[in-house]
Structure 1
Amino acid sequence: MKYTGVPCQYSSPLDGFSAYGKVTYEMGCNNVTCDNKTFIMPAVEASKNADATILLVGLDKTVEGEGLDRNDLLLPGYQTELILQVIVASKGPIILVIMSGSAVDISFSKTDDRVKAILWAGYPGEEGGRAIADVVYGKYNPGGRLPLTWHQNDYLSMLPMTSMSLRPVNNYPGRTYKFFNGSVVYPFGHGLSYTKFNYTLRSSNMSFNIKLGEDIPYRDMEYYMANNTEKPPCPAILIADFSCKDHFELDIEVKNIGAKHGNEVVLVYSKPPTGIVGTHAKQVIGFKRVFVPAGGSQNVKFEFNVCKSLGIVGYNAYKLLPSGEHKIIIGDSPTSLPIDISFQK
C-alpha cells in the first residue's frame, strides 16, 4: 500500500484564504527551487497595498525526500530574498507559512517584529489549504509541538554527516534535544497557542530506597568531579539485574488563563542526576493532549515506572538506573520535581 498519492480533490492555501476575504495572489517564485528572481517584484508590489500579507514558502519532494539529501538548512534559491523584500515593502502584518517535511533556518524572520506569526504546516493533506487558513484567521486554535529540533544552518559545519553518534564525540556536538546544547532556531517541543496555559504540579517530593538482593552488583559510572559534585558510593545498578516494580505518579492541573478554548500537549521530561559523564540532558517520558476551555482547567494524571522513566543508557549500551537526585520537568517550566533514588542490600 502506498502512503503518498494525489487526492481526488484538494483545498489549496489560496482556496482556504479566499473563503475568508479578497485575495490578491502573486507567485513570488517560479517553483520551489526559486531560481528566477523575476517573480519577486510583482509579489512585493502586491504586498504594498495589502491589509495583510501571507507568505507561503518551503520545500517539496524535489528538495527533500527518501534517497534525497539536502545541501543545507536554508530555504531554496531566492525564497529568502523574497521574504526580506516583502517584509520591507508590506504595509500590513506578515504571516509566514512554511510547508516542508523538515526544518529550515528562518532565524532572520523569527527575530523580525514585522513578521507577526510563523506557521509550520508540514505537508498537509487534501484539506490542508482550509486548515492553514482556519489557523491563521483564528477559527482553530493550534496546539502542536515540534517533534524535532530546528537547527541553525551552521550546525552542518559542526559535525560530519558520517558521524552517527548521538552523544558529543571528538569535539562534535551531540544530536537531538537529548544531547545538543547549542543555539537553535526552535527547540524540540516548541509550540504556541492563541491562549495561555498554566501548570500546577500537585504531586509531592518523592524518594525510593530500592532493596536489592545480595547477588546484584553495583555498577560504576564516570562523573565530572567539579562544582562540588560527589560520586555516590553506589553509583548505579543494571536494570536487567532485577525486577523493577517501583512507580511514581504525577497529577498536573492545566489551567487555561486566556480567552480562547484550546488544546495543550503536556510534555513530561526526566533529567538524570548532575555530574554523570556522557548522559542525556533530559528525555521525554510521557505526553498527553488535553482540551481546556477558556477559563477552565483539567487534571492530567501520569504513572511512570521508575526504571523505564529514570534509566540511562551507558556507553556499552546497557541500561542503568543511577542513584541520586533525578528531576521531573513539565514542559518548559523552570521548576522541577526531585526524585531521590538510593539502593539498599
Structure 2
Amino acid sequence: MTAWQLHIHIQILLSLGRSPIVGFSFRKSELTNVHAMPKNCLVGQVTEQDLADTYNPPFKSCVEDGGASGIMCSYNRVNGVPTCADHNLLSKTARGDWSFNGYITSDCDAVAIIHDVQGYAKAPEDAVADVLKAGMDVNCGGYIQTHGVSAYQQGKITGEDIDRALRNLFAIRMRLGLFNGNPKYNRYGNIRADQVCKKEHQDLALQAAQDGIVLLKNDAGALPLSKSKVSSVAVIGPNGNNASLLLGNYFGPPCISVTPFQALQGYVKDATFVQGCNAAVCNVSNIGEAVHAASSADYVVLFMGLDQNQEREEVDRLELGLPGMQESLVNKVADAAKKPVILVLLCGGPVDVTFAKNNPKIGAIVWAGYPGQAGGIAIA
C-alpha cells in the first residue's frame, strides 16, 4: 500500500515537470526509554531479510516503478551506520541494485550530527568523507561547505568524489531544463503570483479537503445535519475558530482564511462559539461556559485534536490521548447536550478516541487532519 501511494504521488510530480524525492528512514529499535532518547540518535537493528522484505520495497518501488529522481537520507542509524554514510544503502542498493539515476541529499544537518551528536565520525572531515564516499551528493545545511575544503586538503576526499556528486546534481538540473535559456520560456516561466489564487486552484483546495475527511462514527445517522432542521448550533473546542491551525506545518500564504465556526455560520444563523480550552494543550479550561452553551443549543459540534505544539518536526508525543482536559471537556459537553454531539478531530497523527467511540452521547466522529485553507468550508 505504501509503495502504491508513493508511486501515484511521484507520477503526479513527474507530470508537472518536477523532480520527486523520497526519503530513506528506517526506525526499528527497542522502545525501552525511547521517550528520553534524542530521535537523531536512534539505532535501528534490522536483519538483512527484514530490510529486503519490509523496509526496502516501498523505496525500491519509488525508484524502479515511480521514477523518483531524488533520495533523502535521514538522521538515524541502521545497524550502527548513519543512513547518509551507508555505502551499502546509497550506492550498492539504490544506485546499483535499483539502477537509481538521480541525486542523493541529506536531511537538514544529518551530516553534522554524524560527528557532532552521534560521534560516529572522529572529526568533521571524516563525516564529510563518510557521506561523499557512501554516495551522497549534497547536504542540507552548511557542514560540507564548512569542512569540505579541509577534508580535501587532508586527503580524506578526492577530486573524483566531488566531481561525481556534481555530475549527479547538474544532470538533474539539465533534465529539468534549467539550462535551456531564459527561464520565462520554460514550462512554468510565465506563472505570476496573481495566478496562485485562481478559482480553479481554490476549488482544488476545497476538493482535496473534502476528499481527505474520514467519517469514523455515525450512529443513527447523526450526520449529515439538515440545514432546515438546525435552528441553533454550539461550536465548542480549541480548534473550532483557528484558521492557522487548519494549515498544519510548512505552508504558504493561504488565499482564504475561514475557520470551521465561520463556515458553519454560513448555514446556521444562531451559531455560538465557546473555546472551552486555552488551546489544544488544554491545560486551562472553561468547561462551565462550554456546558452552558451546549445545553442551550439544538446541536453541538466539538472541534478538538492537536496543533503544532504537540506534533511537528522535532516534536514527538509521549501518548496518544487528547491533550490536557480535552477528553473531560468532550464528555461533560456531551452529557449536557440535548442531542448526541458531533466530534471533529483536527490533527495529523493518530489520537486514541476510544472513549468517544464507546460514548452513546457522541453521535459522530469525524477526522479531518489539517485540511488546509478550505478546511473549514469542507467540514461545514
If the TM-score is normalised by the length of the shorter chain, which range does it land in? 0.3 to 0.5
Higher helix share: 2
After TM superposition, the score normalised by the length of structure 2 is 0.34
After TM superposition, the score normalised by the length of structure 1 is 0.37
